[in-house]
A and B are shown apart, each in its own frame.
Chain A
Amino acid sequence: MSRLAQRSGPPAARREGEEDDVCPVCKSSRYLNPNMRFLVNPECYHRIKNKFRKQTFEDIQVEREVDIRRRVAEVFNRREDDFNSLLDYNNYLNDVEDITYNLINKIDLDESERKLASYASRNQQTISLNVQKSLQESQNREARQVLEKEQARIRREAARREEQEEKRDREEGRRDVINMLASSDGDASRIAREGQQAVLKRSKTRQAAIQKQQQALSSDSSNGAPNGGFFIQGLKTKVEPVDEGPYDPFQGFSDKRKYFVQQNRYAWDRLDRLQKDTNWTAGGYDFREFCSRTLCEAFSGLGVFIGEEVTRTDPAFVGSVATVAAAEAGAGSKDIMMEDPF
């Protein structure tokens, strides 16, 4: 019989009622063993003092319900902005809740499971997308919380410092006055008054400085946040623009050949021979360039239908059209009208 007693940590004060907890398996009770810990089986939801996992909720039904909900929530994670209207969203929520309710209360269990599974398989992509989104959101939220906490701490510190300074100023002022009274032989009341005024003046200038500082603090954060814990509500979460990739000056034009694929090597004796001849290669001449040009010339003109072009374009330009078209065809581009002929 395995016994999992909680050895570490002081025994916490217990509320009444827990004393009567008895393990249904070994019949030992909390009265005899105050450190005993009850755990729940996530399959049958029986409370046994044995392995399994820690119980969160007092009500076992709720414990089970939450587990089911976790499963459902992992699949049905549509967001409000996925829907055209609020009504649609609400209807969706209603349907999901129906399925969940059925799963929890074991009504049409098979049917509901089937629904869940089929939705999961059909919408894998959106599900993972929404998971990412909510992950992002929670990260943002955490970051904001950390920021807010930090700012609150700074403000608190500033307030404390301010208080201390004020106190010190006051005391200094008093000391000054006493010193003055002791050393000079002027009118006592006048000296006292002047001393007071000096303190007042100092505190005023300090207050102004602090105010300025606070204004700076509250204005420097984006989103107008921490002016006393205020931040703007209801900002639409920005949709990240789709990644467009690096800038492409040719706007999708590529020099890939359409009609042929150039090989690195062509079995042709003459070419092989020349390639080995230093007279030819010394100048840096690349034979691939030669092949490319030859192939290009061979295929240029394919896919060009002059008859069509003639009827489409202004008769005045007919002459030039063919060449342009040919050049383009030679370049192997799908986009024939890419370039202005002039």
Chain B
Amino acid sequence: MKFNIEDLPVLFPYPRIYPEQYAYMCDLKRTLDAGGHCVLEMPSGTGKTVSLLSLIVAYQQYYPEHRKLIYCSRTMSEIEKALAELRGLMKYRAEQLGYEEDFRGLGLTSRKNLCLHPSVKREKSGSVVDARCRSLTAGFVKEKKERGEDVDLCIYHENLDLLEPHNLIPAGVWTLDGMLQYGEQQKQCPYFTARRMMPFCNVIIYSYHYLLDPKIAERVSKELSKDCIVVFDEAHNIDNVCIESLSIDLTEDALRKATNGATKLDRKIMEMKSTDAAKLQNEYAKLVEGLREADEARDDGAFMANPALPDDLLKEAVPGNIRRAEHFIAFLKRFVEYLKTRMKVLHVISETPPSFLQHLKELTFIEKKPLRFCAERLTSLVRTLELSNIEDYQSLQEVASFATLVATYDTGFLLILEPYESESATVSNPVLHLTCLDAAIAIKPVFDRFSSVIITSGTISPLEMYPKMLGFTTVVQESYSMTLARRSFLPMIVTRGSDQGDISSGFQIRNDPGVVRNYGNLLTEFAKLTPDGIVVFFPSYLYMESIISYWQGMGILDQVWKYKLILVETPDSQETSLALETYRTACSNGRGAVLLCVARGKVSEGIDFDHHYGRTVICIGVPFQYTESRILKARLEFLRETYRIKENDFLSFDAMRHAAQCLGRVLRGKDDYGIMVLADRRFQKKRGQLPKWINQALLDSDTNLSVDQATATARKFLKTMSLPFPARFQEGISTWSAEDLAKHKAKLEEEKIRELQHGSGDRHVHGQDVIREAEGEFDEEGIDDAMMELDA
């Protein structure tokens, strides 16, 4: 369907649109016009991706700036889904417009997923694929070949050089699969095709890491212009991604490998000195000038990049005492030895980077400044030495990144040395964590560089938490409710068992037999009444295991077994995917199954239980983080001191966003229905932290139920759901056709005129008005009459 938002004509690839989609688009346009950042929460399963894409593509094509879209998502499957949506959208646009627009949309993922080289692609580990690919494609390898040396090259990569550099692949939208097929046909490398075509794309879809992880971002995303529109989809976990991308853990094993790497480098330097000293001298001369100049030839085949170095530092010359290759190696060795010494301590230490640096200086005479240049200097050296088997130096590179980070940031980081894996362990296995406490550090370059950053997800409440934690300001910050023609999902808070005993996963009572039995009863009851699949989320693996063993002893599993197959998620991803597959088969065969999983596990993020795959989701206990973790404690302290976020507020926010993610798994569209059970006494007080769309559907009467009450309510709900509900009931209420939209606009116009007559008027269409109006219609139209007709 085709409609205008203000002056912008939008082509939407479906005949009907949801009111919230329209509202979402209006707010998006407002953000783009204003040129700022925004946080938008859109209920899951209401077509967020397609609304986003169709509005932004329309925006790109209509306005002369042709701003590029960078769409970041979490997983490979989400990237593929988004690409497929985009493809559909462009096909629809071509049909409607009558011509093909000059448009390119590409997805980028790791080498491992895009490799075609017959032997490399068979490697299982991603880093091995990366390393082998580099050794076949690096610039110096080709030079060697040209000099007549006998080296292997990747034919897929070589073929790219025969093509026009700006036209490696025909215009259009290419899914990852499509790229692989095209690459196989044309014998060209899909990975490098995508990488090299990025400057010529209208839409780029890739994973968060390409923008947030400074090690990769510098390389992949540095050429993107300032006016790009950046979208982070499924961004409710973005702060953790930011933090992880800047945190480094070192183990004794890694340090040993780093020493080996340094020794090996030393040998290589000696070799090169005797064979090709000019090259080293050349590098030395360049380093005298500065890193940037030395790095002009940063190419695809290069080593890894530096983490988050401030730009002005890169322009500075490398400190004199690490200019020479042999000096630098001695420097690295000394640093690694120092770290090894630190590892010998048998009690927990947490210290700030400045205090670490001071101690380092006292012991080894390593200054802060050369340490800062460590990562970059190593990259330069590796490039000069033309090393091909880079995986030997991975640990050394990690140490170098560690050095650079610890010397670059005084605040926002903490070093924690944990000598034992667990409290009861007697054999030490020390880990030195350099943990980033401030999510804003990693994402700051993104906000600084791009004028419009859109952060969106199905569950991103409370909205104001994100700007606070990530350090940015928004122009639009909105949460949409779900317009429904009937109540198609039933959220409930169960606080008591049938025996009126409180249920909670709080650690004082979590192993109480009464509580465990009540949870068991809850599961049994819902296994009886729910058609098809049930998904149960526990706060942690540990708790899940203990509860399952209790249930086994109490005979609860035997009871559930009568109704459903029971499957369990494990930390092993292969086992889990097998369990998932079995679960789906069981659901499709009619009897259904129970999947027991963990709120922070793989299942809770990114796996959809649409329709019969998930009719009930039970959240057993509030999924708090493990609060005894030292890293978490440090972060909480940092948040309180820097952003004035209280410990409990953050923990509660974090638990609720995971709970909301779990609940959102079962409802994947407007024709879907499901029951959401929050089974913990403490949820009652945390209700306000649920996303708006869930909170609105949660009736006050359903917030303090016992197990038997909840069972009765669920039965009633399922009965109404079992009534036939033809699509036409939704028309005009939760789905709009073109006429409905026109009607809505006319109404809005009228209102505006009225407002203008009364005085001030807001020029923009606000998303919230749309939703309010749609809900108003829902009340007016009176679905009951229609229902009665149907019954009769």
Contacts and interface: CB of A to CB of B under 8 A. Distances in A.
Nearest to A228: B642
A230 interface: yes
A145 B355 contact: yes
A15 B643 contact: no
Interface string A93-112: 11111100100100000000
A13 B426 contact: yes
Interface residues of B, number: 41
A104 B411 CA distance: 36
Interface stretch (B61-69, B294-302, B327-335, B495-503): B327-335
B707 to A, nearest CB: 28
A336 interface: no
Interface in A65-92: 65-66, 69-70, 73, 86-87, 89-92
B320 interface: yes
A96 B333 CA distance: 18
Interface stretch (A27-35, A53-61, A294-302, A318-326): A53-61
Contacts of A104: 330
Given A90-B317, A90-B320, A229 B337 contact: no
Nearest to A73: B365
A57 B338 contact: yes
A62 interface: yes
Contacts, number: 87
B341 A58 contact: yes
A237 to B, nearest CB: 15
Contacts of A163: 646
B351 to A, nearest CB: 11
A87 B317 contact: yes
B641 A66 contact: no
Contacts of B358: 138, 141
A86 B365 contact: no
Of listed B346, B358, B428, B641, residue having the most chain A CB within 10 A: B641
B650 to A, nearest CB: 13
A97 B428 contact: no
Nearest to A80: B369
Given A56-B363, A70-B365, A228-B643, A97 B321 contact: yes
A60 to B, nearest CB: 10
Given A94-B324, A96-B321, A155 B333 contact: no
A62 B337 contact: yes
A interface SS class: helix
Interface residues of A, number: 39
Interface in B395-441: 410-411, 426-428
Interface in B117-156: none
Interface string B272-305: 0000000000000000100000000000000000
A166 to B, nearest CB: 10
A12 B643 contact: no
Given A56-B341, A57-B337, A229 B642 contact: yes
B319 interface: yes
A61 to B, nearest CB: 8
A94 B337 contact: no
Contact of B346 (A13, A70, A96, A97): A13
A229 B316 contact: no
Contacts of A101: 326-327, 330
B764 interface: no
B426 A66 contact: no
Contacts of B365: 66, 69-70, 73
A143 to B, nearest CB: 13
Interface string A229-267: 110010000000000000000000000000000000000
A163 B637 CA distance: 14
A86 to B, nearest CB: 6
B363 A94 contact: no
B642 A93 contact: no
A271 interface: no
A13 B419 CA distance: 11
A152 interface: yes
Interface in A194-243: 228-230, 233
A152 B346 CA distance: 26
A62 B641 contact: no
Interface in B34-67: none
Given A90-B319, A91-B320, A145-B355, 18 more contacts: A13-B346, A15-B252, A57-B338, A58-B337, A65-B330, A66-B365, A86-B317, A90-B318, A93-B319, A93-B321, A95-B320, A97-B321, A97-B324, A101-B326, A101-B330, A145-B354, A159-B640, A159-B646
26 contacts: A13-B428, A56-B363, A58-B337, A62-B333, A62-B334, A65-B334, A66-B334, A66-B364, A69-B364, A73-B365, A86-B317, A90-B318, A90-B320, A94-B323, A94-B324, A94-B327, A96-B321, A97-B327, A101-B327, A138-B358, A145-B355, A159-B646, A228-B641, A228-B644, A229-B411, A230-B642
Cβ-closest 5 pairs across A and B: A93-B320, A90-B320, A228-B642, A94-B320, A97-B321
